[in-house]
Amino acid sequence: MSAAKVDLGRRLFYDTRLSGNQTYACASCHQQARAFTDGLDRAVGSTGGRHARGTMTLANVAYNATFGWANDTVRSLEDQMAGPMFNEHPIEMGMAGRDGVILARFDTAADRARFQAAFPDTTTPVSLGHIVKAIACFERTLIAGNTPLDRYLYRDDRTALTAAAQRGMKLFFSERLRCSECHAGFNLSGATTFEGGDAPDVAFHNVGLYNNDGLGAYPAIDQGLFSISHRPADMGRFRAPTLRNVAVTAPYMHDGSLPTLDAVLDHYSRGGVDGPLKSDRIKGFTLDDGERRDVLAFLGGLTDEGFLTKPEFGPPRN
């Protein structure tokens, strides 16, 4: 990490020259005002192709133990970027086979100077590897840690959460709802990794979103971790994403099939769709109207408003 790498990565993150047809940037799908998601049920690539999955938030992405919705082999931001850059079915950035063309677009005096400043100990500063490293450096700065919940828990601000949100917090962490069994830790997510921490216990979950054949099958377009491992038990298993900024990242689930947080609560309160592969953590629960409002108030208290507007995370001005 260095200031020069972060500055270069930020510029590249917002630069449409990185897509094959020069119409898309990383920021096209990862929009700051939506906590670096895009508001779509399923992402759309630079050539208009519709993807099987929704865009994940980049909030606190530096701490992820794995990347993407359901891949236990991708363990770094640098490795993750190969997907959007080179995927062809469907196309995302559309860089496959166009490395030379794309690098030539950065053969300007200003670009060469920025790459040289970021990577001073190389004779070929403008390279695909350096593009990947710089963007990863920028993404590691995307820290969301000033929510009402953070202020309440860690800064002793007893007024940061409303009374309703405090009641909702107790429900969220209760044995009755069991939300925190999957959405745990400081990131309210699946496994995280950080300096000095224990080796992460990576887990993926089938939350009973589908059971198309009575045996637990998910739609062929996306069958979760099973698509990577080919183990029958992994059918429909996905990573638990962070709930930070969840109120601004609708729609929900890996395929955007639940449009609102109310719909998410409906799904989990019903206990999902019964099937032999559904996680035993998904048991269902009951909420009266007041309790539902309290849980929603708590989820609303996970929004870091500054994260959504911080100029350092937005497009460069010069």
The average pLDDT across 216-229 equals 96
The number of residues making up the chain comes to 318
Domain count, the chain: 1
Q: Which of 6, 61, 81, 10 is nearest to 194 (CA)?
A: 61
189 sits in the region (left: phi over 0; alpha: psi -120 to 50; else beta) called beta
Evaluate whether residue 99 is within a structural domain: yes
pLDDT of residue 201: 87
pLDDT digits (tens, 9 = 90+) for 117-129: 999 999 999 999 9
Return d(Cα 216, Cα 86) in angstroms, integer.
31
pLDDT band at 318 (very low <50, low <70, confident <90, very high): confident
pLDDT score recorded for residue 251: 98
Residue 49 domain boundaries: 3-142
DSSP string, 99-148: HHHHHHTT-SHHHHHHHHHHSTT-S--S-HHHHHHHHHHHHTT-----SH
Nearest to 312 by CA among 38, 63, 9: 9
DSSP symbol at 207: -
Whether 183 is covered by a domain: the verdict is no
Q: Is the pLDDT of residue 199 over 90?
A: no
What is the C-alpha separation between 55 and 249, in angstroms, rounded? 9
The answer to whether residue 269 is domain-embedded is no
Give the span between the Cα atoms of 119 and 9, in whole angstroms.
12
Percent over 90 (pLDDT), the chain = 92
* pLDDT of res. 198: 85
CA distance to 54, 72, 117, 210, 287, per residue, from 226 (Å): 18, 11, 43, 14, 33
111 falls within a domain: yes
Measured CA to CA in angstroms, residue 17 lies from 198, 203, 232 at distances of 40, 36, 41
C-beta of residue 88 within 8 angstroms of C-beta of residue 96 = yes
Give the predicted TM-score (pTM) of the model: 0.95
DSSP tag of 281 = T
Per the listing, tokens 């990565």 go with: 9
Q: Which amino acid is at 249?
A: T
Instruction: Judge whether 13 lies within some domain.
Output: yes
Residue in 293, 297, 300, 291 with CA at minimum distance from that of residue 177: 291
Per-residue confidence (pLDDT) for residue 88, from 0 to 100: 84
pLDDT at 87 over 90: no
**Quick one: 163 exposed, middle or buried, by C-beta within 10 A (0-12, 13-18, 19+)?**
exposed
pLDDT on residue 104:
96
pLDDT digits (tens, 9 = 90+) for 97-124: 898 999 999 999 999 999 999 999 999 9
- Residue 114: CATH number of its domain: 1.10.760.10
In a domain, 10, yes or no: yes
The band of 212, judged by pLDDT with boundaries at 50, 70 and 90, is: very high
- Does residue 251 lie within any of the structural domains? no
Asked whether 219 and 283 are in contact (CB, 8 A), the reply is no
